Structure 1
């Protein structure tokens, strides 16, 4: 008997289905995966039920990393791009993934900016208002954000955070997002590459990929 046909597991799937149908938008669909396969999917264009979870998909990332995954383009055969949020869940003691998909044009694809981030330092968690954050950094597959008082780690990637932060935050490098309100000046380093110096004296490089956007936003 396969996992998707066991009565107890199906009861858990049905419980999630009942809850989700009460609150997800009409233009959104959702899927539940466990042990590398989709157990349920309410999509009309394409039914993923019974199919193997694709490498690089939201469900695969959730199952592998056991964390919330947001705003990744799912590797599916939808006719239009769909984005989604994935959440780790349990199905009768087994690790699963719940993924809510939505069209790119959905109003949910432009959520209200977050006003705080919760970071970890010294085995404690601290909710920090975003206007206190000077910059964010990706280093050795980990993400950190900084205030004038300290450094905090956070589970989200820069790619995820870039879509959630207020407009005052600007991507300047594959490894850095800066709060433009904290930029003190813009200069060139010893190699004549542009960099920003923020209020605490930290120097952050501007990569060539983002130079034009930075110039446009900052007006220089």
Structure 2
């Protein structure tokens, strides 16, 4: 399931708590799944961001004055070198006169907020704007599935493989973060998928982007997926799977 990653970097603990409170207040009233990761220095923030696999679901909320050799503007510049402008960025600072520097560093930010003037209201408005942008983007890219009374959204790139549940008339979708059980047949879900997916067995579909290699185990051929998951390839699908590996 799609999950928004909110990354806060601020050197003062009281502001980390306040910004986190405002974020929770807004997002707890939305249907967006999210996590908050907070940091009070440049190095820890960059190390965390470099460890991520994807940046489209990242929202960075940054301070400019980090009381370090490298300030928040340099942090923003390095983030942009890493995420290639895929995430969104908000600055909250007491140094509002530095707004022009944002353009100098070519950061492409969503908003620039003054800590000393109506910060809570301004941050809420910025987050509401972000939610509109985020919803529009995921609704155009995500796959939507009904699970019980809920409708969930899943990015195709997050799906590693899909298999038939042999004991129930369901499929199990394995993503990078969780397993999702859905009341569909493999044929029905295949109609929703893009060309990035390939059926390797009568009860298994895999995401080509997550295929690391193919290998023999005894006399059977398997795909090795992200996370060292191994799934068997049927004899009749072998030629097609080999062809997609060579593309």
**Which TM bucket (shorter chain)?**
0.3 to 0.5
TM-score (ref. length: structure 2)? 0.39
Which structure has the bigger radius of gyration?
A: 2
TM-score (ref. length: structure 1)? 0.43
Query: Could you say which structure has the higher strand fraction?
Result: 1
Query: Could you say which structure has the higher helix fraction?
Result: 2
